[in-house]
Structure formats: C-alpha cells, structure tokens
C-alpha cells in the first residue's frame, strides 16, 4: 500500500505543485501524492513550463485548499514554505511533519533552480521512506 503524502505551501501555485508532480513522477510507485495551499490561488504557468522541460505535465493540476483534505489520513505532510509551516492545520493527526523552505520563485531561472532543489530534497525523502 502506498504511503499518502500531502505537500503544503501558501498558494498551492508553484512550489507545492512542482513537488507534487516531481514526487508522483519520480516515486509514484511508493507514494500517493497530493498538494494543497493555506490560501490557494491558481497554478503558475511558469511552474507548468519548467516541469514540462523535464517531461512532467502538471498542466491539469488545480490549486486546492488544505480544507479539502480535512479528516483524511496522511502518512507525511511536507511544508515547502515558512508561511505554510506556521499555519499548517493540526487536523493531520499522527502524520509525520517535515519542513523545508524553498525560495518563492519569480523568474524562470529561479523556478528552474527551485524545481531542481525540490527534486533533490524529495529524492532524499523517497530514499528514506
């Protein structure tokens, strides 16, 4: 049975969306992955573009509110920005909580750097789980 992972950020528009796509692509055989935001917006087109460069299509993703997952069980909740860590809901019960703050990307070069940093972080996470 796959471990359930929820990746949280503020807007669920860039970092958490890229993380969801990366973990699903790179270790989807081990994990059922979702992402959400504490103040969801829309998926950033630059996030879609830099993921497409890796052959990972997140164009069908939508920004989701963390409240959509209220009452659901997750094995691990990963926050990828400090704001989400501070406001992370307490309703995830016994889930392991991990945090790593990645820069909020602005231009394409920063999106690429952050995407690559997230990939390294998640590869280490997957190897340990």
User: Which residues belong to the active site?
Assistant: 9, 81, 88
Q: For 46-60, b where at least 16 C-beta lie within 10 A, e where not — what string?
A: bbbebbeebebebee
Nearest CA among 86, 84, 87, 95 for reference residue 129: 95
Side by side, which strands form the sheet with 3-9? Answer: 31-37, 3-9, 76-79, 96-99
> Rounded CA gap, 61 and 42, in Å?
9
């Amino acid at each position: 049975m796959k471990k359930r992972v929820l990746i949280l950020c503020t807007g669920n528009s860039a970092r958490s969306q890229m993380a969801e796509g990366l973990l699903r692509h790179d270790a989807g055989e081990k994990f059922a992955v979702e992402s959400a935001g504490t103040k969801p917006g829309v998926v950033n087109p630059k996030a879609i573009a830099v993921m497409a460069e890796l052959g990972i299509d997140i164009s069908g993703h939508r920004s989701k509110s963390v409240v959509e997952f209220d009452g659901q069980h997750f094995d691990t909740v990963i926050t990828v920005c400090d704001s989400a860590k501070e406001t992370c809901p307490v309703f995830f019960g016994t889930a392991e909580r991990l945090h790593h703050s990645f820069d909020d990307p602005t231009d394409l070069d920063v999106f690429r750097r952050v995407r690559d940093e997230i990939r390294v972080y998640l590869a280490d996470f997957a190897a340990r789980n």
